[in-house]
Structure 1
């Protein structure tokens, strides 16, 4: 069995991951990590999420939990993720990162760390979403002059916008058109905006209720509209993808990988920084 440590184990994705590990005979839960400020530190991680007792207490001791693991899975916050990655690099442990909201500087540090250990970094571990990325590239290349709009929706608790998945979708469209999201992206609109800029990639964000994750790419011309859409109904979807990455990663050479590599569809998409 593969020993996995979950970093960010007290959150919504933590719950989904604990449940997925319990149902998968390939893995055993070696450790569960949360912020030191979490009032549930010391309690059994399965029990706090409503599962039967597992015997794995929630802890804030990152070095100890990394040492126990064959592979680490991280769904936390950018600052905590960077600390974890540094620890994994010191202990030469592979890590799967699903955290979003990294700055350009943080992404550069992750690339540097990935020169010493294998890292899977993906804003979305869903198989369907990664197929969405691949199909988005094909569509953007086929309709280079269409207006591109990305509409995403998540639960009211999400703290970053647009979502990491929406930004990745925008990066995919931009790269397919020979530009960058920094140049073409319009992340919000308000007031008197004037006509739409040619080649721009617009974003619209919804935060409401308990939406797990909705993403739509709209390509519109004067004569037709083309949509690619993905809806997630259960975080188990993301957890299963993360465990698929965790099973694939150990033994791989040091490097920065994404879910296209895990799924074997990297030839269908662009490698994005």
Structure 2
């Protein structure tokens, strides 16, 4: 049985993770929320899961380093500056950061990478996602994760290939672009599709999240896997040994 800390534990994902921790027979020891200082609390934990906000990432990483415990980060909306912080922290502790903790999405990203590598560049790639009306960032972290999988397979940088701002007279589709379309509404937990559009044929790889507990269970699975690992940067693909 491991002692878990959750940063952002009063949020919807935090509550789901607490339930998943109990479901797996672990101990939810510490919860930290906005304005709380995690540093004096994480000494009680074996591992911490962070689903808070990008603004809190630096403080949370410093707290995990001070406690000498692994951290799994499922916070989305991260920018380049945050990835620098993650790389620095991973020199001292095990760090797993992902745009989606679902095991199904992890496998989907793997399949997207394989498809993008196997298909010729004249197959256009489009990423479509839909989430509930309360989601604040777009495209979703999962959509970016899938786009990054496709970009990596094609040997390009997603920041160069990404096309997510189509409106008005855009002209023909840019060669080599990886397109993104975002939908928001209702209570959708998460829908993602990657479309490979060739000449007179299409392949669509999709994942549907029916309940946020799939993300919570995946986060707990990832946190369990981090226990006992050496300092370093890890992904959900490592958890599934893909």
Using structure 1 for the length normalisation, give the TM-score: 0.86
1:171 equivalent in alignment to 2:148: yes
1:248 to 221, 225, 236: 225
Deviation at 1:61, TM superposition (A): 3.2
Q: Give the aligned partner of residue 163 of structure 2.
A: 186
Give the Cα–Cα distance (whole angstroms) in 2 for the partners of residues 64 and 5 of structure 1. 12
Moved over 6 A (4+): none
Deviation at 1:22, TM superposition (A): 2.1
Choose 170-179 or 60-69, whichever is displaced more. Answer: 60-69
1:239 counterpart SS class: helix
Q: Give the aligned partner of residue 66 of structure 1.
A: 42
Matched positions, count? 241
1:31 equivalent in alignment to 2:30: yes
Q: Give the aligned partner of residue 101 of structure 1.
A: 77
2:150 counterpart SS class: helix
Q: In the alignment, is the contact (CA less than 8 A) between 2:65 and 2:93 conserved in 1?
A: yes
2:198 to 221, 232, 253: 221
1:257 equivalent in alignment to 2:202: no
Q: Give the aligned partner of residue 45 of structure 1.
A: none
Q: Give the aligned partner of residue 111 of structure 2.
A: 135
Q: Give the aligned partner of residue 54 of structure 2.
A: 78
2:196 counterpart SS class: strand
1:155 to 124, 132, 138: 132
Give the Cα–Cα distance (whole angstroms) in 1 for the partners of residues 203 and 226 of structure 2. 36
Using structure 2 for the length normalisation, give the TM-score: 0.97
1:239 to 209, 216, 219: 216
2:137 counterpart SS class: coil
Give the Cα–Cα distance (whole angstroms) in 2 for the partners of residues 115 and 221 of structure 1. 43
Deviation at 1:21, TM superposition (A): 1.7
Q: In the alignment, is the contact (CA less than 8 A) between 1:30 and 1:65 conserved in 2?
A: no
Deviation at 1:90, TM superposition (A): 2.0
1:110 to 86, 107, 117: 86
1:199 counterpart SS class: coil
Give the Cα–Cα distance (whole angstroms) in 2 for the partners of residues 172 and 150 of structure 1. 11
**Unaligned residue ranges in structure 1 (runs of 5+):** 37-59, 266-273
Give the Cα–Cα distance (whole angstroms) in 1 for the partners of residues 149 and 164 of structure 2. 15
Give the Cα–Cα distance (whole angstroms) in 2 for the partners of residues 71 and 34 of structure 1. 16
Between 1 and 2, higher relative CO (CA 8 Å, sep ≥ 6) is seen in 2
Give the Cα–Cα distance (whole angstroms) in 2 for the partners of residues 262 and 65 of structure 1. 27
How big is each residue's C-alpha offset from its partner over 1:94-125, in whole Å with a ceiling of 9 and x where there is no partner? 10111111110110111111011001111111
